[in-house]
Structure 1
Amino acid sequence: MSAVLAHRARRRLARDRPALAALASLVLVALACLIGPFLTGHPPERIYPDFVRVPPSLAAHPRSDELRPALQRLAFRMRASLEDVAQEGERVRLTLTAPKPIDERSLRLLPRSGLFGEAQVLERSADGRRLVVEAPIRRLYFLLGTDALGRDLLTRCLAAGRVSLLIGLTAALAALLIGVAYGAVSGLAGGTVDALMMRVLDILYALPFVFFVIMLLVFFRAGLWLVLVAVAAVEWLDMARIVRTQTLSLKSRDFFRAAIALGAGTGTILLRHAVPNMLGPIIAAATLLVPRVILLESFLSFLGLGVQEPATSWGVLIAEGSRALESAPWMLAAPAGFLVVTLVALNRLGDGLGEALDPRLQRGPDQRDSAGR
């Protein structure tokens, strides 16, 4: 019977085009976050001092007007002066002069800058104080611009998505396991045990979440694992209430009473009768739990209590972008766009799963199939 119900749920979900569009959007976002940072051509931590707060553009950098300032800064670090610059296609020829002989090892600064390839010395004066050097120009693209340190914002958003999705899925999974076990045991036990377990939930509900996180920071260092522990420690409360309510409803069903009458153990009843019959509401609630966790992590990171550098998340990027909203609005728009798309898609997918897995919402052909069987 469960296979039949699963087949009908898949059919109902397949007819829900907004839910399928949300699922496709989530798959694209997840694949982009996993593979994208390797394809952008920029390591997430790579800093380009010459391109700080560059606006989003399809144009390649460095442009012709950006070559001389970049080369002047590199020449200064070489302890030399830039006498002349000439661009020939995708290569640049520069003339360096200095009061002392120029050490050719300093030319390594050109490829290290990320803007140029390996340099070749074309001419060298007898005293070594004048060099004519040629190097290929590397073309850099910043499709979503750069941040306040000169890091590619697209790469940062994709790398941050890994952390945000990891926190959302891991914390939601932990909350799912704890909440299902706690709620099922409470509903199945009933009586005094149920009342006592519910009062424990009430006490935990009364604890302010931010105060709880601050207390954790007193004993532990802020970081990714602290966020996971803090979020998972509170997000299972709602799941426990949902599962308890479903368990109390199932206890009045004949198959549940028959299992108890036949002497089935508590573990068997939970695993073979309670949890499978609550799978629909549980999956729907878990899907809606992920965006709540991501949003909560973003809130903590915005306050500076969440993910810390060098790691990053959408919440951290949004916090950085809010501080540069007037001068560089793209720093806020880029991570906020990723976050909004993910949250909307997760919520819509959760609604679709809830409708597809709820047998009371069967319509049309499904009802006729049920009657025919």
Structure 2
Amino acid sequence: MSLALARLARRRLARDRSAVAALASLVLIVLACLIGPSLTGHPPERIYPDFVRVPPSLTAHPQPDELRPALQRLAFRMRVTLEDVAQEGDRVRLTLTADKPIDTRAFRLLSRSGLFGEARVLERSADDRRIVAEVPIRKRYFVLGTDGLGRDLLTRCLAAGQVSLLIGLTAALAALLIGVAYGAVSGMAGGTVDALMMRLLDILYALPFVFLVIMLLVFFRAGLWLVLVAVAAVEWLDMARIVRTQTLSLRGRDFVRAAYALGLSSRAVIARHVVPNTLGPIIAAATLLVPRVILLESFLSFLGLGVQEPDTSWGVLIAEGSRALESAPWMLAAPAGFLVVTLVALNRLGDGLGEALDPRHQSIVPKGGRQLSEPGDAETGR
């Protein structure tokens, strides 16, 4: 692809407002998934037992009616009795009693809970069986609510996005490396070699994907790497067919014949002439491949064949949310929303790239220059 065609493709893509909006949405989602978990104030694995299945809201927790239950649970672990609770702004005054002298080291449980800060002893009896302490309250916000274990759902969705996007990008990269090489070699070889290579593709197409994953699970432990291997093993097939078709249409062109006449090897012709002239369909197909892989991983995780704890993905969160749909619908809506927005944006960006890279749509008209026909210049403008 010539530099002139590349500039024209960028102009076309910039004029497509929906494609630009899709690209901006993807950039925001990727940045949110990368840096968002460190900004929410909740580690992805942090469990808040007092806030199980809390609905989404902008209200800070713990609320006044949630203070006493949370403190009673902590007092039970401290082996003391919570005699009185008095909230004063962002601080709470506790009166604790026990049958034995109270060890102040037990106050560490308050700060470890994530809801309270370091306790400060205000009063204590002579026998240390009664202590009055003041504890600062740490405000917690659950914008998208919490899940069935009390984990912040926003943080979980952002951390799950890292895994889902990683699987999509890795599978797309594998499809590019394997599919482009296989399709280009098959198309340039032609004849019997091409026929045998295509029959191998037909055999691989005939293998049920879910059956392949189940067979892998028989010999290997389920996990992220297994999903990557299973998805990458089959998603290059379509890319190989696309590149083969493009290669068959290019191998009889004059610039390919001229390259052979100059003494270039088949490998050099493929690398320097065939593959660069198929970049348009390749890039568009790769962009559309990413959402398909993400959806496939979500399907596997929904069936329990994909990502396993402690790792998580949008598919895992959707599976958890579907089991709590009646009591906590936000557990399904939150990860499904992230997944839908990502898939729609990727598909729209793929359509926009396909149109921008299609040389049949417009011709190049440089400033003060002649009009260039894109199909011919894609071959000779190298």
What does 1:219-230 correspond to in 2, within 5 Å?
219-230=219-230
Q: Distance in 1 between matches of 2:251 and 2:339?
A: 41
2:149 maps to a residue whose letter is: L
Structure 2 contact 19–348 (Cα < 8 Å) conserved: yes
Structure 1 contact 157–314 (Cα < 8 Å) conserved: yes
Residues 372 and 128 of structure 1, relative CA distance in 2, 3 Å threshold = closer
Q: Does 1:29 align with 2:34?
A: no
Structure 1 contact 62–115 (Cα < 8 Å) conserved: yes
**TM-score scaled by structure 1?**
0.98
Quote the residue 1:285 is aligned against: 285
Quote the residue 2:300 is aligned against: 300
- Tell me how far 1:191 sits from its aligned partner: 0.3
- TM-superposition CA deviations, 1:42-77 (whole Å, max 9, x none): 000000000000000000000001001111111111
Q: Distance in 1 between matches of 2:228 and 2:364?
A: 43
Quote the residue 2:377 is aligned against: none
1:108 maps to a residue whose letter is: R
Structure 2 contact 297–306 (Cα < 8 Å) conserved: yes
Quote the residue 1:190 is aligned against: 190
2:143 maps to a residue whose letter is: L
3-state secondary structure, aligned to 2:92? strand
Q: Distance in 2 between matches of 1:372 and 1:208?
A: 47
Q: Percent identity?
A: 84
Q: Does 1:76 align with 2:76?
A: yes
Q: Distance in 2 between matches of 1:176 and 1:298?
A: 22
Residues 120 and 310 of structure 1, relative CA distance in 2, 3 Å threshold = same
Structure 1 contact 8–366 (Cα < 8 Å) conserved: no
1:283 maps to a residue whose letter is: I
Q: How many residues align?
A: 373
Quote the residue 2:347 is aligned against: 347
Quote the residue 1:212 is aligned against: 212
Q: Distance in 2 between matches of 1:218 and 1:248?
A: 40
Structure 2 contact 365–372 (Cα < 8 Å) conserved: no
1:325 maps to a residue whose letter is: L
Q: Distance in 2 between matches of 1:368 and 1:9?
A: 19
Q: Does 1:164 align with 2:164?
A: yes
CA RMSD between the two structures = 1.5
Structure 1 contact 57–142 (Cα < 8 Å) conserved: yes
Q: Distance in 2 between matches of 1:26 and 1:222?
A: 29
1:87 maps to a residue whose letter is: Q
Q: Distance in 2 between matches of 1:340 and 1:366?
A: 40
Unpaired segments ≥5 residues, structure 1: none
3-state secondary structure, aligned to 1:199? helix
Deviation above 3 Å: which 4+ runs of structure 1?
A: 363-370
Q: Distance in 2 between matches of 1:277 and 1:172?
A: 19
Quote the residue 2:149 is aligned against: 149
3-state secondary structure, aligned to 2:95? strand
Quote the residue 2:327 is aligned against: 327
Q: Does 1:3 align with 2:8?
A: no
3-state secondary structure, aligned to 2:93? strand
- Tell me how far 1:129 sits from its aligned partner: 1.1
Quote the residue 2:316 is aligned against: 316
- Tell me how far 1:263 sits from its aligned partner: 2.6
Structure 1 contact 12–356 (Cα < 8 Å) conserved: yes
